[in-house]
Structure 1
Amino acid sequence: MSGRFADPFAAPYFPRALAAAAALRQAPALGRIGGYETVAELAPTVYLGRRADGQLFVLKGSAATTAAELARREDEALRLIRHGFGGVLTVEEVLGVPGGPVQHLCLPYCPGGSLRDRLAGKDISVEELAYHGLALACALHQLHRHGLVHGDVKPENVLFAHGDEGFAGREPRWRTVLADLETMVPAGGRTSVRLTAAYAAPEQLAGAAADPAMDVWAWGRILREGLDLVEGWDWLDELAGQALAEQPGARPDAEAIIANFGRHLGFGTTTGPQLGADRPLVWYPLGTLPDLLDSWPRRAGVATIRQSVGWLAWLPECHRLYELGTVPALLRIEELSTRALREAELARAAALGFTCLWVKALVELVEKTGDTADLHRLLVAAQEWERVGEFEHEPDAAVLAQAWLMLDNPERALPHLNRGYTADREHPSGRAALRLHHLLAGDFELAAQIAAQPGRDEDEGMHTRWLLLMLGDLLAAGEHAELARLLDRIGPSNIDLIALIGCVLAGRRGPVTADARWRGLREHFRTISSGTSLKKLALLTEAAFQRGEYDYAASRADLARRRKVTRLPVNHLERAALEAVALQRDPADRALTARLTNRAELWVADGRPADPLLRLDLVTAHRWAEHLPPVARELLAFSGTPAAPMLASTRLCGDCGGAEPLGELAICGRCHRTWCAGCADQVCRCGGEVTRPH
């Protein structure tokens, strides 16, 4: 057999790098940024941070002077988080002080340094260089097929990461990853002014619009630089030359580069290649297979290559990704599931399993992002599952119910909710869907009761999650006595959400001051992370307002309300409260006129963005129009009229449970509880104003 087996990370450089990283984990702390101890300054405003569990991260600081600038930067970083997979280094989180001078991007620490370090050492082999070239091409392909251009591909941005990638039990491994996504722009847009001339394509230096061919040119420049140091292969030298073609259209795209590698290289074990070229010049260990390279053909007779190769083997991979729960992991589930359903001839059970994971991942993704594009893809997935009309397990019907509830379509959710919850009342999907149904119906007390129900085989983490949901629901329901009793039973807790709920509860029950407990929470939240939930930000904002710290509260409210998740129907109460505080007005004011006026004034202050009133907010605003000031009527005119299909859709009466068309139901302007004509004479228990059909 021609060719040989080679490990691209076998050079002595890599174990030395791991030893140096281990020493840094024990280094004395120099300071603190958020929840990280700083142990080294890598460059001006760039620090090496150590988390409580000993893991190392890079904290990149940048000057920012206004809350609006901070919000824009956080939005950019959250966009980067979406694309941090497939060989692209992610942004772990964003650490920011709203209205303050500093924001940090928290990035994984790559102990192996960069490809620049390997080139500078002049001891890189052609086998190692080719592997890094392939991994870089895979990362670029991942960006390019999503319509993105990196814009600053260079050896310094090709890093060597080492770890388990967040999967408990997975053996740590080396990976070649593309970093520094701050220069990333959509194809066709203006390229970043931050570029490196030596690796910028001629048309990029001339100011042309961003194009994937620019990244390919930089790829070729890197390969050419490495090939000058080694005795290379003719095919690789020729491929680098093609990538450096003067005309962008003459360059191969990233997919063609990967295909070319597949004709010469492979992956396998010490006994022989199993993936890639039939007679490769060199084959690498299966564990080094770059992400998303599982489309390479397998050799005959090979049953399993690695966990992410083979359609059925992707099911456990998707389950592991779902447990990880990050935005990149959820996007990876969506990709694997849709590819499996589209490209493979799957058995019924496997197809239904992938469909369930597809929808579950998108439900979770929408809860995290609130992005319109994610909502649209969730709609497509829900429609497809409903078209199939089958479930691998009966409780899975509740997952489809969750999808329709997230899409604010309780009419289509209810049959699936009843089916899934009836099949297994202790199943977490059924409980989650039923709780979400009650939240959207404005019945927070019933939502709390569902959260309080005992689950089957719950671990400590899941038990705590349901406890926190129940406490939040009791606070929203105004069940202050019951909530106080439960908090007394729990006692002192190091869970910040419990402490926040206690502070807000105290403020709702009477006048409060900035005591030691509140000062401790303020210090705890001195740095706001992009991972800080909307619920925490809303509670932090209300607690500050209760204690007369109006500027502090307004800055937190302004940061929180710019998150897209505030637009989700399930978060409409938090959004209204945040909008009031952003204007330094009382969030406890339940008057519909005040709520709509706040929304309209902020809409004008933000430059009248494309953010109209939607769903029940739009219906109640039209019914309340004669009470509104001119600014609110302007927003109402911009928003248009409620769609006829929505008014014709059925919802349940909050008292008798009867189903009626939405247009014929009375609706509370605050909690969105609905009543039929026979029950509509009541006052809503939340204190909001009830709007009735004209």
Structure 2
Amino acid sequence: MTTQFPKFLEARYRVKDLIGRGGMASVYRATDERLGRDVAIKIFELRATDVPNIQRQQAEINVLASLNHHSIVTLFDVGVDRTEADHPQIFLVMELVDGVNLRQRLDRDPMSTRHIAQIGYDLAEGLDYIHGRGVIHRDIKPANILLAEYSSDSRARARLTDFGIALFPDSARVTTQGMTTGTAAYLSPEQARGENLGPASDIYALGLVLLECFTGETAFPGEPIPSALARLQRDPAIPQELAPEWRHLLSTMLARKPEQRPPTAEVVLALHQAVIAETGRHRSAVDHLVSDEPARLHEVARLDILDTPADGAFDRIAALAARLCDVPIAIVSIVDTDRIWFKSHHGLDLEEIPRDPGLCASAIMSEGPWVVEDARTDPRALANPLVAEEFGLQFYAGVPLTTRNGYNLGTLCVIDFRPRAITAPELRTLTDLAALVMSELELRLESRRAALS
């Protein structure tokens, strides 16, 4: 049974919304009334007050209090709630990380290789820091990885949290031979066997997390015991389509024998190189799109779509996109030299806007879906007049309308006036509908040519 907590802790922290709940504790958003800032408070459940669990809580406090790194959540304070005298409860006051955890992010749309490299690099740096201090996390998994969003940055930064079962120097808590501690799907082989652990165990778990970022699937799913035993019998499958450097890095991180895995510092270096390589590839792709603007405009002219009359087929596609994504507005847009033309505009009585403020002009610079889930905090959109002024756009998801030879003519986009997430199935649906728009455009061009011949 979940404990009801007081509204105030130590007459200082006002407890507000529940953020998440685990087996031993619940995490709440709260306000530090003394300093006037929002914080995260982790309050342990009543059943976690026997001697072993009190020791576990104290161990987490000791670990967090000793760590100071940009890839690790920061501990601000610790206290004991004595509202019920017979059931004192330890609570931790931590930095509030705005954003989602990696588990929530993986349940949405697929991640780019560049983003995976950046997340991996952040986490590897954090692990290198704690391993250098003799700390083994022992529970690296997507739910324990927070993606912090900063308005001054262009990407989310990965932050490692939940050191509740960590091992650290001079601790009375040592690994007990034959006991398995951690989350079954992300255990290292030696962890599954209940053996003593070192940094290599965290490297294996990080490898599983990165692999899941690529595949969207847990490598060892299922019930705890079968899942734990599976890694003792086989290596996880690494997709053949991954670049050779990624296949090599993941295969070494996921070696069944800990001594065959790379040291943490080498993983940091490898992932740093991956970030540089993927950023270079991304910039090259964007540069290609920019430099080929004349060719893109030639494709717009070739399809002869700017001055065509309204088309019911596109209206039906836009209406379907709006309905399936549960948004008020859906648009089929074509980006011209200085205008964005709305070939269909479900939920919006507007046929064109200037190119500069239009988010579609940014979306066509992307190689895939371009999503802004909360335009009020996203640095790509927060200063946009469609966001900051009367129109009040807060959510945008656009899929490029891509020709057979690779040019983005415009987008199929959905818009909302409230922030929201978009799911992987919704993005796949938008992508399929965008492909249908392009198929219709090509068919209509062929029909016009046939009629003239």
Q: TM-score by structure 1 length?
A: 0.31
Structure with more of its chain in strand, by fraction: 2
**Higher relative contact order structure (alpha carbons within 8 Å, sequence separation ≥ 6):** 2
Which entry has the higher C-alpha Rg, 1 or 2? 1
Structure with more of its chain in helix, by fraction: 1
